[in-house]
Amino acid sequence: MNNITDITENDERKPFALQCADPYVYYHKDGYYYFTYSCPEYDRIELRRAWSVKALGDARPLTIWRKHAEGPMSWHIWAPELHYINDKWYIYYAAGKAENHWAINIYVLENTSPDPFCGIWEEKGQLKTEWNDFVLDCTVFDYHNKWYAIWAQKQNNNKGTSSLYIAEMESPTKLKLPQVLLTEPEYDWECRGFKVNEGPAILKRNGKIFLTYSASATDSTYCMGMLVAEDKENTDLTKKESWTKLDSPVLVTNERKGIFGPGHNSFTTSRDKKEDYLIYHARPYAEVDLNFALYDPNRHAWVKRIKYDRNGYPIFR
């Protein structure tokens, strides 16, 4: 008999949380799974927790922060991620302005309470990159006692292309620049509707660092790509040549299963840490107006157990 916390094949066939785009699930040492996501109204940041991934959909959300009335952080509150760094809680999220919806940058909240449902969430300002032009989807991770950030950003000389950049972090609220371009849209499957690389996520397993990301427009063409780096002491993750980019997507629309436009994922583990889980969003239907796809609320959160091939690479399909 499966434990109530285990993910079964039946759990993979349906969303575990409705209208929760850009899902980020983090398993903490207190035994809780914590869950952040883009709310359909894009006006606040909610936090949920439960003893299992599949219980997060029914967990009561706590609104920990709301958008400003004007100026920075007043529009398009997107893709919050909860991280625990040096005994403090941080949330990294994207936000635009009511006066300019697409003037989007990354901002940081900090909470010093051991319990993120308690204490005060303090605004720590913008996580500043080399230039301020459509910056979003920041994830952070530790590697050999250093912290790194990876995010999506439009290139300085190419306004229509969203690419992924990496930088080491001086602190949880400051990057150690310069930033390095890791990947930009180049294959057909990355350029459908729009030229997009976004939504980075890190998985460390089998002596490798896997960097997944999302590509193309946010309709049924949305899909996941992947870069791989060797997990060695002398590997410099801030060098593009340390990474190998796969030339085919690793997760795409599956009409038979009713999963359309899968992407913007995160990773977590089973409670015993023996299994890795893919957390991602997708729609249950294909038809969506590309001009209004971001405002279609039905990007739901799904979970899938990850298997590995003989080379230690994750299998997401």
Which of 22, 137, 190, 276 does the annotation list as catalytic? 22
Give the whole-angstrom CA distance, residue 56 versus residue 34. 8
CA 232 to chain centre: 24
Are 82 and 26 in contact by the 8 Å Cβ rule? The answer is yes
List, in order, residues 6 or more apart from 106 with CB less than 8 Å away.
92, 93, 94, 126, 127, 129, 135, 136, 138, 151
Give the whole-angstrom CA distance, residue 148 versus residue 167. 6
Q: Is-catalytic flag, 22?
A: yes
Q: Tokens 């994830």 label which residue?
A: 139
Q: State the sign of the Cα–Cα–Cα–Cα dihedral 239, 209, 17, 220.
A: positive
Give the whole-angstrom CA distance, residue 253 versus residue 251. 7
Q: What are phi and psi for residue 68, nearest 5 degrees?
A: -75, 165
Q: Which amino acid is at 243?
A: W
Q: Is-catalytic flag, 12?
A: no
Q: What are phi and psi for residue 40, nearest 5 degrees?
A: -55, -30
Q: How far is the first Cα of the chain from the last one, in angstroms, to the nearest whole number? A: 25
Which of 190, 198, 219, 276 does the annotation list as catalytic? 198
- Residues involved in catalysis: 22, 198
